[in-house]
Amino acid sequence: MKTRSASIIALLIFSFCLLIMPANGQTSSVNAASNYDANLAKKLGADEYGMKNYVFCILKTGPKDASINDEKQRAGIFAGHMANMKRLADAGKLVVAGPFGKNDRSYRGIFVFDVASVDEAEKLVATDPVITSGMMTAELTLWYGSAALLQVNENHKKVAAKSF
């Protein structure tokens, strides 16, 4: 009877070990079947999760928007806005930008900056004619997102038949 009990206990311990091994064997190491590219991760400044810090900016309708009624003046401000975005994107500082659809929160658009701090992003935003004219204001905050976002502008050029 002792031998049978010992065998059952040994079998239970062995079964328990089999059950917990996969859970204990799991680590945060890279799966051999993944598409992980260490060189690309390093180039993009990715952390071990493929993420990095950015500064996220929401552009909102500014206090002087309604008072700028001259169409030529508005067109000039927006032409400068577009040129400024292109300059910042070409410099690698502006990762993503785009307008919002009509909404009741006065949101006009977004910027995502690849910079180290909100202060640095504020200096870049201050170069935009829609901000300096008072047509828009900017709210900025740190944001943690995919490092692959840095490849959007490179890939956008491949899918855009026209440019602004």
> pTM of the full predicted structure?
0.78
Which pLDDT score is estimated for 157?
A: 87
DSSP 47: -
- Strand 107-113 and strand 51-61: pairing? antiparallel
44-159 maps to CATH 3.30.70.1060: yes
Ordered DSSP codes for 117-162: -HHHHHHHHTT-HHHHTTSEEEEEEEEEEEGGGGGHHHHHHHH-SS
The stretch 24-51 carries a mean pLDDT of: 80
What's residue 55's pLDDT? Answer: 99
